[in-house]
Amino acid sequence: MSFWSSITEKMAFNSLSEFLAMGKHGIHVWMSYGFFVLCLVILLVSLFRETTSLEKELKREGLLDDTKTEK
């Protein structure tokens, strides 16, 4: 309890609703972070999907030598 309250004391907000409201800038802050997260997800999903499909194709063509490249 005292540990948790020592953390919450240092926070800039007193409640969750205050945190979500961000003063009068809730829309701006969350729109920015939302856009950032969206970009990150698009970047990473396309990157990892590309790797998976390429490795599958390489394996099918017998070009990916697992014994050599891994471990």
What are the CA-CA distances from residue 48 to residues 20, 38, 55, 65 (Å)? Answer: 32, 16, 11, 20
**Contact residue for other proteins among 31, 41, 45, 66 (CB under 8 A):** 31
* Residue 19 binding other proteins, by CB under 8 A: yes
Do residues 51 and 59 lie in contact, with contact meaning Cβ atoms separated by under 8 Å? no
Nearer CB in complex with other proteins: 2/70: 70
Do residues 26 and 20 lie in contact, with contact meaning Cβ atoms separated by under 8 Å? yes
* Residue 57 binding other proteins, by CB under 8 A: yes
Contact residues toward other proteins (CB under 8 A) are 10-13, 19, 22-26, 28-29, 31-33, 35-36, 39, 42-43, 47-48, 50-51, 54-55, 57-58, 61, 63, 69-70
